[in-house]
Structure 1
Amino acid sequence: MPIRTNRGRAAVYRRLWGYPLRSPRHLVGTLVFLAIVITALGIALPKVMGKQATATPSAPGSTSAVTTTSPPPGLAAPVPTTATLPTRLSSPLLTPTSAPPNPEAINVAKQWATAWVNHPAGITNADWLNGMRTLTTDEFLPQMTTVDPANIPATRVTGDPTVKTSFSSSVEVLVPTDGPKLSITVVDTGAGWRVSDYDQAS
């Protein structure tokens, strides 16, 4: 017989809530039942939530779509091809191209060496550098401002320059002096050949 009045429902609810309090046996049985239900939920819920987590995308906001197109009737399905992008190492490295020595580069190296050994006593760096300014690249001039002319161990050029290496855009020239031999690098700047570096060779 269904319960049709609020009073009847309230009586049923009172019976249910009052059941555990009727006796200690009822109370213990209710607690055991609740413990079993809570344990079952604790085991089942993580499994259900884990399945839902694996079904969702790994990165939120990222979508992936796979589209497939069927070929027209009578035509074979296209064969998928993979395109490989060239890596940086796959490109061949450019190496300088050897070329005959440029006479202008050799002449610039000799003039620069002649100005380098010209440092009379008391000359300032600025005056000494003026003799090489038009023969030196703009990038190398700031390094030359740190040189003290009084420390240069040579006073004159003692022989003709010789070419050590020669490329289309740079030439390394050896110039003998009464001190160390100079190894001078001359580069083509587009506006003429200029000295970009030097070293005191043995």
Structure 2
Amino acid sequence: MPIRTNRGRAAVYRTLWGWPLRSPTHLVIAIIGFGVLVIALGVIVPRVLDNKPASQSGATAVSSSTQPNQVGVLPSSGQSNLPTKLPSPVNSASAAPPQSDAQLVAELWAETWIKPPPNNDVNKWLEELKPYTTDEFLAHMATIDPQNVPDKITEKVKAVKSTTSSIDFEVGTDVGKVRITLIKVQPDGKWRVNSYTKAD
């Protein structure tokens, strides 16, 4: 029979809320029941919520595979002509015999590089290196102490690696071999020293 009066509803609520307080046994049963309910909800609710996004992400993956140009989506096999990785810059320039003007620039730079400036004047030293050096590398050379540069050349400058846009030369010094890298500067196409390192 349905409860139709407020007094009847209040009596039912009083009975439900009062039941755990009737005895210690009822209280323990109520606490255990409440704990089981909380744990069940803690396990079931995340599983239900995880199933919905999984089905939605599956639908997204299916729809995104039809658009292979989207970021983060791998193209399906056989449909894309794009390379899997970029070719290395070394392979992009074709090998070429070293040019005589590059050899001359490397020799002049090496001779000027080891020549100590008077009173270790870095500005004078950089001014002498400027015709043979790129502007970017000249700025780096300004941080070098000329006293740390070798004193003399022991072997002639020789080309060890050559492409159409860069050439590596090695020169022997009193402190070991040094590798000098020249690049062809655009738009005039002149060869300039872009870096040097200790050779292996």
Q: What TM-score, normalized by structure 2, do the two folds share?
A: 0.56
- Aligned pair 1:56/2:46, yes or no? no
1:107-126 correspondence to structure 2 within 5 Å? 107-119=104-116, 121-122=118-119, 124-126=121-123
- Aligned pair 1:104/2:101, yes or no? yes
Q: CA deviation at 1:177?
A: 6.5
Q: CA deviation at 1:186?
A: 0.7
Q: Secondary structure at the match of 1:134?
A: helix
CA distance in 2 between counterparts of 1:123 and 1:32 reads 96
CA distance in 1 between counterparts of 2:50 and 2:128 reads 72
Q: CA deviation at 1:81?
A: 8.4
Partner of 1:164: 160
CA distance in 1 between counterparts of 2:28 and 2:125 reads 99
Q: CA deviation at 1:66?
A: 7.0
For 1:197, give the aligned amino acid.
S
For 2:47, give the aligned amino acid.
T
For 2:23, give the aligned amino acid.
L
CA distance in 2 between counterparts of 1:91 and 1:46 reads 52
**Residues 99, 58 of structure 1: CA spacing in aligned structure 2 closer, same or farther, 3 A cutoff?**
same
C-alpha RMSD of matched pairs (Å): 4.7
Which runs of 5 or more structure 1 residues have no equivalent in the other structure?
18-29, 68-79
Task: Tell me whether 123-132 or 37-46 shows the greater mean CA deviation.
Answer: 37-46
Which runs of 5 or more structure 2 residues have no equivalent in the other structure?
16-21, 60-64, 76-82
CA contact (8 A) 1:113 1:182 kept: no
Q: CA deviation at 1:40?
A: 6.8
- Rg bigger for which structure? 1
**Residues 117, 56 of structure 1: CA spacing in aligned structure 2 closer, same or farther, 3 A cutoff?**
closer
- Structure in which a larger fraction of residues adopt helix: 2
Partner of 1:42: 34
Cα deviation, 1:65-107, whole Å, max 9, x if unaligned, reads 777xxxxxxxxxxxx9897727xx9415425242211222212
Partner of 2:135: 138
**Residues 188, 36 of structure 1: CA spacing in aligned structure 2 closer, same or farther, 3 A cutoff?**
same
Q: What TM-score, normalized by structure 1, do the two folds share?
A: 0.56
Identity of aligned residues (%): 29
Number of equivalences: 165
Correspondence for 1:188 among 174, 184, 189 = 184
CA contact (8 A) 1:186 1:193 kept: yes
Q: Secondary structure at the match of 2:108?
A: helix
CA contact (8 A) 2:97 2:162 kept: yes
Q: Secondary structure at the match of 1:171?
A: strand
Partner of 1:77: none
**Residues 103, 85 of structure 1: CA spacing in aligned structure 2 closer, same or farther, 3 A cutoff?**
farther
CA distance in 2 between counterparts of 1:123 and 1:45 reads 84
For 1:85, give the aligned amino acid.
L
Partner of 2:18: none
Q: Secondary structure at the match of 2:164?
A: coil
CA distance in 2 between counterparts of 1:199 and 1:65 reads 52
CA distance in 2 between counterparts of 1:32 and 1:197 reads 87
Q: CA deviation at 1:132?
A: 1.0
